[in-house]
Structure 1
Amino acid sequence: MTENDYRQKILERLLERNSRESGFHEIIINNHRILERNLELKSENLALTVENEKLRNGLGVGDSAAQARIQVLEKKLLDKQEELTDMHKRKGDNQQMIIDLNVKVTELQKQLELKNNSLIEQSRLIQSLKAEVQMLTTKVGKLEELNSTLKDEHTALHLLHCSLEEKLRKTQTENSHMVERLMKFKAKDAEKMNEENETFLRFGSLFSRKKNDAMKRELAEAARDSSVSSPLPINEDLFSGAYGNASNVYFGDEIPNRVHLQFDAHDGEVNAVKWSPLERIVATGGADRKVKLWDVGKGNTFELRANLIGSNQAVNSLDFDSTGTLILGTSNDFASRVWGIADHRLRHTLTGHSGKVMAAKFVGESQKIVTGSHDRTLKIWDLRSKACVETKFAGSSCNDLVTTDSSTIVSGHFDKKIRFWDTRSSDSSTNDIQLQGKVTSLDLSKDCHYLAACVRDDTIKIIDLRNNHILASLSHDSFKVGCDFARIAFNPDCSHIAAGSADGSLYIWNVNGKLVSILKDHTVSIQAVSFHPFSSILASVDRAKKCTIWTHV
């Protein structure tokens, strides 16, 4: 508001006040008139009084005319006195009215002053708001310019994206043709290797050392030639170190192909299965909050060895220690528990996570444990002190984990990453591997060289841990991962991988990427599988209470 506007506003307010208070002027004028009239009446009264006295003194008693005139004058005097009294009364009323009006005027002046102060404040506020509006108008103009620029960039990027998508489709088509050709060559290589292996097994004791060396070289060359589709390189430990002389090599050709046993393991969904490292005891964990130990080593029968209780919600994963004397289970109640195998007693309850614990493993020794949770952390526990000794902050919920040695932990996460942790360091993970889907499960080869990862995009990745390189991707058109924690497993010699599908089928691939077998017995999604550590026996569990033991004919 300008100075002229402000003065005009004050003038209007004064004129309004004058029009509102104009009655005071008339009252004051009337009051002055009354006072003047009062003075006149006093003068007249005084004159009449003097004249009355003169007449009283100058006239005789018998003068009747004078007496009458006196009475008239007295009456007139009384009337004037009454009029004077009335005027005094009206004067008092007017004075009281003036006092009241003065009080009202004072109050109105105070209100006017408050209004004027508010008007000044509002004027200042209007000025500040005008400045802010100007600033925001300028900012909006800049944002509109920026928005226009971004739109142009988005249009350009969209065109680039469309061209890249078209290029990707062409590349995928070419790749599928190349994969088909490659699979044909691989099938021929596999048939040749199988023939050589069978010949080697049948007549290995008759071959000379020179012939043995030549055969190994041929196998290695065949493996190198087939590395286009990223198979596992031949590991000579599988042929000699772990299984003795070449004549006694175990190639893992025996894969399960029939149902040996099937039974209802729990009252609800079965989430976890694990073989004991010492005997044919298979452990299962389910939604009924129990961990059960089953003896399946007596012919075609099974026996419930123990019913381990203590969990308050569903059991998610299981792990035996290396001695087979302890079993570790995780639960949706934010805790992990350790039971003794011999006495079936609950030894430890580990609490500290703020979300359900999805996976846990013994680390190197039986007194150290690592757990992974939906609260986006990994915790390392010391069973001697029954306390958490370290917390790793992953930034994403952990679905599964494995341990390669006493100091290295590998974890699979909801954010599609595989993370590597060193327990000797408090630093964050390094050399993360980014995949194309959520990681549901991890399994490690016995020599700790190869990692299998089940991914929610319905593939299984084989990773060489020595250089963090993805060697192979296993998939099938009908294979679908059933849940976010579906567990897969290597067989004992790490030549095959088993995984359950959402339709209840059990898929087995060799590590070179060839689908070897599809086993059908379950009718609902398979939650987890586990190979016996020293044989080709396989256990699988599903959502319909079932546990199935598979063997080779």
Structure 2
Amino acid sequence: MSGWSLSTSSILRKIELTAEESRSSPRDASNTVDSAERSARISHLEQKCFNLQEELTELLRSKASTAEELSRKKDLVSELDDKIRLLQIESDEKNMKLENYQNGAENSEYAIRELKRNHQVLLDEHAALQLAYSQLEKTCENLRTENGHLTKELLRAREQIAEYANAEAIAAAKLRDLQRKIDAENLIRDATKGVLPDAKMAYTARSSPPIKKINQFEANNGEVFEVKFSPDGSHLATAGEDKCVNIYNVRNPASRIESPVLTLKGANAAITSVSFSKNGRHILGSSNDQAARVWDLSSGKITQSLTGHQGPVTTARYLTQTSAVTGSQDRTVRVWDLTKTSCIKTLWPGSKCIDVCNGSIDGSLIMSAHYNKQIHVTDIRAPKDEKQVISLSGRPTSIAVPEDFSLSLLALTRNNDLAVIDLRQMTVRISLTDFENDFRVTADYSRCSLSPCGGLALATGQDGRISCWDVNTGRLLEGANAESAGNLISCDWSSRLVATGSKSKTVVLWSD
């Protein structure tokens, strides 16, 4: 702008000088200068002044245009400054992001290095484990070989045990024959003296099937899940749906039986099984209330409660005088020390337990029937609870063993047959059926029984039917019916009687 001001001032100065020059032109008296020359000079000066004015006007016009352009340039500069500031902010943000990316890249590189280091460690561990696996595989192979030798030795030991058991069974049979003779002699002697035999006399083992119904009475209020004779055969215990165990005197089985001599209470649900102790002074009962109980028969009170199962206890049996075993729908079998009222071992068969029984004199061999059509034979003395598994064609409802623990086992199944199992081979030796009389198992918890001598098998069915077989030959023997008793679900065999229980609270006593 200062340049434009100087140009304008210069032009104005020239105009003023031209005008002054025009006014100061000499006007002498002689008028020697030609008027034409003066007019030309004035005209020249006026023209010069006009040109300067035109130049001034043009300069002013240019000044205004330049001012507008300058204003626009200033606005443009302001806009560019704003853009520069925005670009600077964006540049700062991108620099920050770049710094973050660089930090992330450094962290990623560190993580990659750590992963590579860990991967190397895992490779080293894998190599070490591979070496250990190779060593264990060799050890396992050696153990398999040793197991094969031990299995052969175990089979030889079992054969020897079987021979000892056979010899023991023969001796027991001879002893029973001798006892039978002694009892007969005592009976004759007492008859000649006019004295009746004592009720606690040991009864002889049965050798013929029960075909004669000698008594019938109502026991529990509801289903009679199990009937069980006392060791001397003088009393009968019934387990019922009414949460009670009733004890009946059956010394004179043909006489009228109206009421129990003792009723055991205390359970909170149905009693599913009963078992007398070896000395006949206590009763063990299982219940659907997830517990088993021991009653003292002299007082009728509960002395022990065995709790720990998480489902209904389907069965409970004495192993010895001081130990017992229980089975439950919670898929466990528990062994109990009755001196401490505590569970000392739990077996996990993997299926609901239906029935258990003792398979040896010392109570170390447990046999259990399960819902998955299997029977487990477990030696609880073994550190790892070694067991043998026997598969059946149908789901078992109960199992039974002879009183002398000979190497056989009886299992009643839902296929309406009795499986006789050889415990030496752990296989079903023979299947007992009664198609002739349309024998049908009543329930999933129907019981079977063996005669005291172990030679006869008994099962109860629908419509009051009882069927009897010869265990050795598999021959169906003469059976009987008690249609008025309804569908039978339980049975037990003493030395002189058979008792059956029904779904309709009825108990029937049978004889040969």
- Report the counterpart of residue 327 of structure 2 in structure 1: 372
Change (3 A) 1:59 1:418: closer
- Report the counterpart of residue 148 of structure 2 in structure 1: none
- Report the counterpart of residue 96 of structure 1 in structure 2: 82
User: Counterpart of 1:49 in 2: which secondary structure?
Assistant: helix
- Report the counterpart of residue 178 of structure 1 in structure 2: none
Q: What's the TM-score once normalised by structure 1's chain length? A: 0.60
* Counterpart check, 1:448 vs 2:385: no
Aligned counterparts of 1:416 and 1:293: Cα–Cα separation in 2? 33
* Counterpart check, 1:462 vs 2:420: yes
Aligned counterparts of 2:209 and 2:63: Cα–Cα separation in 1? 150
* Counterpart check, 1:547 vs 2:506: yes
Report the Cα offset of residue 320 of structure 1.
0.7
Instruction: Map 1:14-93 onto structure 2 (within 5 A).
Output: 48-60=4-16, 70=56, 73-74=59-60, 76-93=62-79
- Report the counterpart of residue 346 of structure 2 in structure 1: 391
Contact 1:259–1:550 (Cα < 8 Å) also in 2: yes
- Report the counterpart of residue 419 of structure 1 in structure 2: 376
Instruction: Map 1:282-361 onto structure 2 (within 5 A).
Output: 282-295=236-249, 299-361=255-317
Report the Cα offset of residue 343 of structure 1.
1.3
Aligned counterparts of 1:525 and 1:293: Cα–Cα separation in 2? 22
Give the letter aligned to residue 495 of structure 2. F
* Counterpart check, 1:530 vs 2:492: yes
Aligned counterparts of 1:69 and 1:434: Cα–Cα separation in 2? 130
RMSD: 4.0
Report the Cα offset of residue 499 of structure 1.
1.2
Q: Of the candidates 361, 369, 374, which is equivalent to residue 405 of structure 1?
A: 361
Instruction: Map 1:166-205 onto structure 2 (within 5 A).
Output: none
Equivalent pairs: percent with the same residue?
Answer: 24
Contact 1:401–1:409 (Cα < 8 Å) also in 2: no
Aligned counterparts of 1:466 and 1:341: Cα–Cα separation in 2? 38
Report the Cα offset of residue 430 of structure 1.
5.0
Aligned counterparts of 1:491 and 1:459: Cα–Cα separation in 2? 17
Contact 1:334–1:352 (Cα < 8 Å) also in 2: yes
Structure 2 alignment gaps of length 5 or more: 21-48, 109-168, 186-203
Change (3 A) 1:288 1:300: closer
Change (3 A) 1:246 1:469: farther
Structure with more helix by fraction: 1
Structure 1 alignment gaps of length 5 or more: 1-44, 122-231
Report the Cα offset of residue 405 of structure 1.
0.8
Contact 2:366–2:380 (Cα < 8 Å) also in 1: no
Aligned counterparts of 1:241 and 1:469: Cα–Cα separation in 2? 34
Change (3 A) 1:479 1:313: same
* Counterpart check, 1:438 vs 2:404: no
User: Counterpart of 1:277 in 2: which secondary structure?
Assistant: coil
- Report the counterpart of residue 432 of structure 2 in structure 1: 474
User: Counterpart of 1:260 in 2: which secondary structure?
Assistant: strand
Q: What's the TM-score once normalised by structure 2's chain length? A: 0.64
Report the Cα offset of residue 275 of structure 1.
2.2
Give the letter aligned to residue 243 of structure 1. R
Report the Cα offset of residue 92 of structure 1.
1.4
- Report the counterpart of residue 499 of structure 1 in structure 2: 459
User: Counterpart of 1:528 in 2: which secondary structure?
Assistant: strand
> Which shows bigger deviation, 268-277 or 335-344?
268-277
Give the letter aligned to residue 238 of structure 2. T
User: Counterpart of 1:302 in 2: which secondary structure?
Assistant: coil
Aligned counterparts of 2:295 and 2:64: Cα–Cα separation in 1? 127
Aligned counterparts of 1:291 and 1:476: Cα–Cα separation in 2? 32
- Report the counterpart of residue 187 of structure 1 in structure 2: none
Aligned counterparts of 1:285 and 1:46: Cα–Cα separation in 2? 130
Report the Cα offset of residue 340 of structure 1.
1.1
Structure showing greater Rg: 2
* Counterpart check, 1:273 vs 2:259: no
Give the letter aligned to residue 412 of structure 2. C
Alignment deviations for residues 2-48 of structure 1 (CA, whole Å, 9 cap, x no partner):
xxxxxxxxxxxxxxxxxxxxxxxxxxxxxxxxxxxxxxxxxxx5654
**Larger relative CO (CA 8 A, sep 6+): 1 or 2?**
2
- Report the counterpart of residue 153 of structure 1 in structure 2: none
Give the letter aligned to residue 466 of structure 2. L
